[in-house]
Structure 1
């Protein structure tokens, strides 16, 4: 019996070398995971309430941008901006969505737009867009991140 136990022990000890594999370090695993993540693209785009039912990533993105454009245009349609600057037909609106779901709007002016009173236009836009509906921020690997985009807003001249 002793010989069987000794033989079995030697067999088990000798076979441990086949199971001994190098365990990757935490740093190696971290570098591998970072290489897998595409840093140029978010996992999910920002979302607005009316687009929550859409499941496809690209359709949700389109729904978000069309909803944002529509909401901004509705708020700016019958505005004094048309009276002050009738030559403006499109505004490039830089929208920033922060991880805490707050929004910031800035107007992007063309290089040759020296005749516009930027502060007046910005204050007008801020007042019109102050009570904007809640927007869920974009996320990267489940973590909310800051996102920015330019939204072309066509001002109706009706």
Structure 2
């Protein structure tokens, strides 16, 4: 009778243990992949898009700074050749949303508009878009070593004198 009671205790213990012992390798793999995917922050890139002047082995903050400085420098140089006009004193900030795709190509997604400024300078959006498209070659952003599309926003400060 003791042998039978011990056998029932073993059966009870086995029935209370995890079912993972009996899970298929595919199920275990799927669970691991789902856990890994849920741990990834999909709103951040591991490496910013890089211009040739930027160092690939630099830290992420240094890469971000290099990307932003090169972008602003190029945009400033492109826009300084154009004279924008306004009949009124204007101090405003417009935001340009742009995308660097997984191949490093850049495109304007959207741009804030100031109605007065846009009316007096209808070519402004086209000039900004052309300037961004004429950027030097870019390496795309990376996430887990894979090229990905990334969206960015830059402010354009408008200051005019009457």
TM-score by structure 2 length?
0.67
What is aligned with 2:17? none
What are the within-5 Å matches in structure 2 for residues 102-121 of structure 1? Answer: 102-105=105-108, 108-109=111-112, 113-115=114-116, 116-117=118-119, 120-121=123-124
Aligned residues of 2:101 and 2:149 also touching (Cα < 8 A): yes
* Residues in 2 aligned to 1:130 and 1:155: alpha-carbon distance in whole angstroms: 21
Single out whichever of 62-71 and 30-39 deviates more from structure 2: 30-39
1:105-124 per-position Cα deviation (integer Å, ceiling 9, x unaligned): 256225xx222248522222
Aligned residues of 1:138 and 1:147 also touching (Cα < 8 A): yes
Equivalent residue for 1:137, pick from 110, 120, 140:
140
* Residues in 2 aligned to 1:58 and 1:148: alpha-carbon distance in whole angstroms: 17
What are the within-5 Å matches in structure 2 for residues 54-69 of structure 1? Answer: 55-69=58-72
Single out whichever of 38-47 and 123-132 deviates more from structure 2: 123-132
Moved over 6 A (4+): none
Aligned residues of 1:72 and 1:153 also touching (Cα < 8 A): no
Matched, 1:30 2:59: no
1:88-115 per-position Cα deviation (integer Å, ceiling 9, x unaligned): 66442222101121111256225xx222
Any unmatched runs of 5+ in structure 1?
1-20
1:125-153 per-position Cα deviation (integer Å, ceiling 9, x unaligned): 23344422011111111111111111123
User: CA RMSD, aligned part only?
Assistant: 2.9
TM-score by structure 1 length?
0.69
